[in-house]
Structures are given as structure tokens and as C-alpha cells.
Structure 1
Amino acid sequence: MQLLCFIILFLATFPPSSSSSLSFDFYTLSCPVVELTVKNTVRSASDVDPTIPGKLLRLLFHDCFVNGCDASVLLQGNATERSDPANQSLGGFSVIDSAKRVLEIFCPGTVSCADILALAARDAVEFTGGPNIQIPTGRKDGRISMAANVRPNIIDTSFTLDEMIKIFSAKGLSIDDLVTLSGAHTIGRSHCGSFNDRFKVDSNGNLTLIDLSLDRQYATQLMKMCPNNNNDRVTVNNDPSSPLQFDNAYFKILLAHKGLFQSDSALLNDERTKNRVVEFANSQDSFFERWSSSFLKLSSVGVKTGGEGEIRQSCSMSNT
């Protein structure tokens, strides 16, 4: 109770920051409890549901790649980003909403949903064994969310390397960032429909590999886990070896030709990216070091600051 009274008194003493750009101390005076609140919310949700970290990390990708890191993917309604079929399998929304509700009690009208999402994804990585990263805050929430903007801006699992490079480059991200951030697939699960075009099964159960870069034994395992009439509901681990641990196993899996998606295998099959895959497979420290840099860039893509956006009262709807 004494701590709660201190926090309320502290917040009443210092008004919200009026900074118009991202900074590492943006909420130091206006809401010093923000990072601890988000971290505790992510931890509590992940303890109940171990798939939460992967969902939060994917949610950030889908937000930042479409209209920048402005929490526009959180907005509900007809023809919003969230309503697009490509985003129907997204999860983790309730975690962001929970953190927002708590922060609205301690720091009303101060912390953006965009910042909460970026911090939650950062914490999801740390919670599952990844590096602890400091990221700046001060993002504003966008007011516009259009389903039509989703497909031209996100990576499809069947993309070639050139197609992925084009999307990443448009966001100010390099080929190295592409390889590094693909390491996010070391946690999380995916629906069968996102990869079962890499093989086909005839009426007798015989397997034919369409994508010959996929290990045949692994393809057989996937086939058994993905019955043809259940592809929209069944999910499998992105990383079959350590699915709940953020580590460099994803890159080891690529070397074994067991990348779940065609877009994963593309990283190994091209000289522009292969060496980095090998490097990360051999050194988790190297991957973590590079991840810290690339994640910082990702979480800063197209951010809105100052008067460019708003601080939503609810993450699922605009204030106006």
C-alpha cells in the first residue's frame, strides 16, 4: 500500500512528457512503472500460456510492417488490419489490453499502445531466454488501420529471397536484418496451411515433395501432423527442437533442411544469406548480439511521434 501511494504521489507531481521523439527515458517522470508493468503482464500471461511470447513477437512484426509501429494492428472493426485474413491467426491481444488497463490506472492518457506492444515483444524474447534489450519509447498510436495495406507489406511464407528483400528494404531493413529477424521463428507455432504447399499426399498416403529443399523425413512428420481436412485449426512448432526457447536452434534447423517455411529455406539456398545463417547456427552469442541491433531497428520502423498520432484510451479503438 505504501508503494502504491508513493507511485500515485510521484505521478501527480510530474506531468506527462511532451517529447516529440523516441528516447530511452521517455516515461521516467510521467510513468516510471511502465516497463515493470508490461514485463509483469507478459510474465504472468506466459506462465499460463507458454505460446504467448511467440504470439507477441509476431504481433509486433505484423504491426510494424504495415503503416509502421503504431499499434494499428490492434484496432478492431470492419476493413481494419486486424480483420484481414492474413491477420486472423494473430494472438496476444489480451496481453496488450491487460497492460494498458493497469497503466491507465497509474498513468492515465500517458502510455501508448504502440509502446506497450514494442515493450511486450521485447520482454517476450527475454522471458524465453533471449537477450535483454533496451529500446526507446515515445511512440504514438495511429488512427488509421486498413486491411488493404496488409498484403502488400507483410512477408508470405512462400516468398522468394528477392521478394523478402524488397519488403524489408522498403522498411529500412537490410539483408542482415532479414536473416537475423527471421530467427524469431525459433519460438511460436504456425498453421498447417502456411507450409503444406511444400509437399502433397495422394489418396494412398504417398508423399511427394514439391519443395525439394525440405528434408523428406521432416516433411513426413509434418504430413502426419497436418491432416488435409484440418489445416485451418492444427498448428505445429516453428522450431521442433526447442519451441519455447529463444535460441539459435532455428539456424541449426535451417542447416538440416528443416526450416518450416519456404521463406526459411530460401535463406540457406542463397549465397547472399547463407554465410550469416551458418554464423548464427555456430554462435548463439553472435545471433543475440545482432538480434539486439535488428530488433531495435524493427521496433522503430515508421513510428509516429509528437502530434502525428494519439494516446488511445483503449488499444482496440481510436479515441475519435
Structure 2
Amino acid sequence: MVRPRVWFPRYKLLLLLFVFILCQSVSSSTSLSFGFYTFSCPSAEIMVKNTVRAASSQDRTVPGKLIRLLFHDCFVEGCDASVLLQGNGTEKTDPANKSLDGFSVIDSAKRVLEIFCPGIVSCADILALAARDAVEFSGGPSIQIPTGRRDGRSSLAANVRPNIIDTSFTLNEMAKVFSSKGLSLDDLVALSGAHTIGSAHCSSFSERFKLDSNGNLTLIDKSLNGPYAAELNKMCPAGTRDDSIKVNNDPGTPLQFDNQYYKNLLEQKGLFSSDSALLNDERTRSKVAEFANNQDSFFESWGASFSKLTTIGVKTDNEGEIRQTCSMVNG
């Protein structure tokens, strides 16, 4: 017996294909993935990028602030936007976080996203994407990072100090913190390149030199370039802890994300003791020299290490929540 030939309309085939792709997307959305918002909020990354571009065009110091904000978020409770939460005893209140900035940029992006995609895009993803875009806007590499992070509901100031790198840290102290986050010494050198933009308060390096009884500048940290120390002393006189004054991390190209930071290190012009430590230790010295001589190598390593940074301790699936407002938990 010959069975009748069944014709399946083309539009039904297309519909089935669309459903299949959608199901695949949903099934993979239980963890970080590229294109996580492809169907739920297709323009999410563009909206964040446009917000960062607008803010950075008005204030060229914004990119450095956004990158620092991400570091202070991911290193404490993982990349869950817990650093954005306000209130007594939150991470934001710890003295190490008092100088953090860039919160308004994240809030602006969140407001736009809540209009077009309410309850869809997490503050944690916005922060990671904003820092990524800040690097690109400043002349750094354009990289792709997965999304799908969820926002944490806990933020404690007590968790900040044990997890944040201090500017006076030795290489061993930095390596210990990085290792606890699943990051290597190579990651440490690459991610320290964030200091190619941004600025710092006098108190973050004031212990590196002093004035003697005759008023002459004396180096406490012998690894610091003498003439550079003299320049720093003009802006931040020895002993002052006036945090109304800011100094560029990179005196050469302070607004450009490039490899000048590593060139500065080779000339002993690292602003922080923790910067100089990278040059003074044989475990990291060769990588510093490599990045100083080859910007492409730095950019490639930055992309890989930054991607690892943005996946530290992320919350996915049913963990955390998608905050309606980045500064407070829902309900």
C-alpha cells in the first residue's frame, strides 16, 4: 500500500526551527553564556555600551572608575554587584571602598534597561559589561565576555579587607589573594595593567618617600625612581594624606588604555609599591618586560585574564536575583 505524501508547510518548519533554537537558548541560560540576552533583551549590550560611551565622553575619568569598581566587586563576594548595595555595614561603607566611583553610570544603564527589558538584565552583568566597554572606549582591546550573572543579596563590609589588594602589598601577598580567586601570577601582571588609566589619592603611595630634617626628599622605597618621586612630592608633599588631591596612575598617557604602564615600571615609575613589586621579583619581571615591548601581547593577555576576572564566584541559575534597582535588593 502506498502511503500518501504529506507536505509540511514551510512556515511550520521555520516555526519549529525557531522553537528549537529558543529551547536551546533557555536550556543553556542556566549558566554564563555568550549571547545570553539574545532573545530576552537583544539590545542589552548595546544599551550598556552607549551609556558608557556617553558618560565617558563627558568625563574621561569614567573608564578608570568603572574598571576599579568591577575589581572591588568581583574580588569580595564574586561578580554579583554586591559592591553596589547601599546601607549600613555594606561593602560600600568600608574605608577601602570609600573612594569608589562610577555608580551613577551603572544606575543610568539599569534605568534604560528596565524600561525596555524590565526584570531581565542583572546589575552584575551591567557592571561587567560596563568595565569591558570602558577599556575599549579608552583605546584598549574589544573582547567578548559571557553573561548570565545574577545579583547577590548580601554585602558585608567585613568581607572587604581580607579580599582586596592594598597598594602596599608585596608580590607574595598579592599572589595569595589572586590564587584564592583562581587567578595566576600571569593574570596578576596582566590585570595590573588596569593602572594604565585611572588616578589615586596621596595616601595610597605617601609611605614611599619622606623629607629629612633638612627638608630634602628621601626615598623610603628604593625601588622608586628619584626624579619621579620628586614630581610626586610636588603634588603630594611627603607626609600629607590629603585625599582631595588625585594623581594619575600613569603620568605618560593617563587616559589611554595602552602598555605605557609597563614601560613606566621598567623606568621604576610605578606609582604604588604593589606596582614596583612586579618588576622587582623574578617571577613576574619577564612578563612586565614582554608587555612593555609588545602591546599586542598585553592586549591578548588582558582579554584572557579579564574574562577570568569577570567569572569569579558568579551566581547563576536560582542563586541571587535580578535587582530592580542596583543599590538595593528586591522586596
TM range (shorter): over 0.9
**Superposition deviation, residue 202 in structure 1:** 4.0
- State the SS of the aligned residue for 2:318: helix
Matches for 1:90-239 after TM superposition, within 5 Å: 90-202=100-212, 204-227=214-237, 228-229=239-240, 231-239=242-250
CA–CA distance in structure 2, aligned partners of residues 134 and 294 of structure 1 = 12
Deviation string 1:10-48 (CA, Å, 9 cap, x unpaired) is xxxx99957210000110000011111000100100111
CA–CA distance in structure 1, aligned partners of residues 273 and 313 of structure 2 = 28
CA–CA distance in structure 1, aligned partners of residues 214 and 245 of structure 2 = 22
Match of 1:64 in 2: 74
Tell which structure's C-alpha radius of gyration is larger.
Answer: 2
- Deviating 4+ runs (over 3 angstroms): 14-18, 202-205, 227-230
Asked if 1 retains the 8 angstrom alpha-carbon contact of 2:206 and 2:240, the reply is no
Deviation string 1:82-124 (CA, Å, 9 cap, x unpaired) is 0100000000000000000000000000000000000000000
**1:307 to 2:318 alignment:** yes
**Superposition deviation, residue 231 in structure 1:** 2.0
CA–CA distance in structure 1, aligned partners of residues 148 and 110 of structure 2 = 15
Match of 1:78 in 2: 88
Asked if 1 retains the 8 angstrom alpha-carbon contact of 2:206 and 2:241, the reply is no
**1:29 to 2:39 alignment:** yes
Structure 1: which 5+ residue stretches go unaligned? 1-13
CA–CA distance in structure 1, aligned partners of residues 39 and 150 of structure 2 = 17
CA RMSD of aligned residues (A): 1.4
Cα gap change, 1:316 to 1:272, in 2 (>3 Å):
same
Match of 2:273 in 1: 262
Asked if 1 retains the 8 angstrom alpha-carbon contact of 2:203 and 2:241, the reply is no
CA–CA distance in structure 2, aligned partners of residues 57 and 172 of structure 1 = 19
Cα gap change, 1:144 to 1:201, in 2 (>3 Å):
same
- State the SS of the aligned residue for 1:200: strand
Asked if 1 retains the 8 angstrom alpha-carbon contact of 2:79 and 2:312, the reply is yes
Match of 2:301 among 290, 305, 310: 290
CA–CA distance in structure 1, aligned partners of residues 286 and 113 of structure 2 = 44
Q: Counterpart of 1:140 in structure 2: which amino acid?
A: R
CA–CA distance in structure 2, aligned partners of residues 266 and 62 of structure 1 = 21
**Superposition deviation, residue 232 in structure 1:** 1.3
Asked if 2 retains the 8 angstrom alpha-carbon contact of 1:54 and 1:124, the reply is yes
CA–CA distance in structure 2, aligned partners of residues 184 and 203 of structure 1 = 37
Asked if 2 retains the 8 angstrom alpha-carbon contact of 1:112 and 1:311, the reply is yes
Normalised by the length of structure 1, the TM-score is: 0.94
Deviation string 1:278-316 (CA, Å, 9 cap, x unpaired) is 000000000001111000000000000011110000000
- Equivalences, count: 307
Match of 2:253 in 1: 242
Q: Counterpart of 1:285 in structure 2: which amino acid?
A: D
- State the SS of the aligned residue for 1:35: helix
Asked if 2 retains the 8 angstrom alpha-carbon contact of 1:140 and 1:308, the reply is yes
CA–CA distance in structure 1, aligned partners of residues 55 and 175 of structure 2 = 34
**Percent identity over paired residues:** 74
CA–CA distance in structure 2, aligned partners of residues 230 and 67 of structure 1 = 29
CA–CA distance in structure 2, aligned partners of residues 153 and 198 of structure 1 = 23
**Superposition deviation, residue 205 in structure 1:** 3.2
Normalised by the length of structure 2, the TM-score is: 0.91
Deviation string 1:200-228 (CA, Å, 9 cap, x unpaired) is 12465321100000000000100110145
CA–CA distance in structure 2, aligned partners of residues 274 and 101 of structure 1 = 44
Asked if 2 retains the 8 angstrom alpha-carbon contact of 1:17 and 1:29, the reply is no
